[in-house]
Amino acid sequence: MTTMTTAQAATKLGISIRTAQRRCATGKLSAHKDARGRWTITMEDAMTLPQLTGPADYLIRAAERDRAAALDRITAEVTEAAGDAPANLVTEVAALYREVALRHTDAGWWSSTEGRHLGRLLQWEFTADDKARLIALAARRAA
């Protein structure tokens, strides 16, 4: 996870600074205001999101909104399921699930996630490396 200014996030996402500020205000970007009242945005290191593919531009734009909502839902689902786990482990597990989800570039997949439990859906897509990372995180919690 990386923290950055609104201008840096806008450049990384290919949007205007004002759009980045609106996304912060509406919760579409993970952000908080610093002591000076400026947005500090927290993004995945690989948050330059993969380009979605689809049959029409309007479907891709809709899927981009669905993807933003789904990534937020992943964090909420992992946090809820974690119970009393340490916050740093919860953050790492949520990042792993988001990383797996971001492998999808088909706009139709993102549009079909509405109302589905993403954690359950994504666990079937874990690679051996993903499972090893998850096991290592579980071992750190047990220690």
Tell me: the pLDDT tens digits for 45-93?
A: 655 677 889 999 889 888 888 888 888 888 888 888 888 888 888 888 8
Q: Does residue 12 have a pLDDT over 80? A: no
Mean pLDDT computed over 15-28:
84
Q: Does residue 1 have a pLDDT over 80? A: no
Give the Cα separation of 97 and 112 in Å (integer): 17
Q: Say how many C-beta atoms besides its own lie within 10 A of residue 46's C-beta.
A: 12
CA angle 63, 67, 72 (to 5 degrees): 150
Q: Which of 10-19, 20-29, 36-45, 132-141 has the lowest mean pLDDT?
A: 10-19
CATH 2.40.50 fits 1-48, yes or no: no
Question: Structural domain boundaries of the chain?
Answer: 1-48, 52-143
Tell me: the pLDDT tens digits for 80-129?
A: 888 888 888 888 888 889 889 989 999 999 999 888 888 888 989 999 99
pLDDT for 67: 87
Statement: the pTM of the whole predicted model exceeds 0.85: no
pLDDT for 14: 62
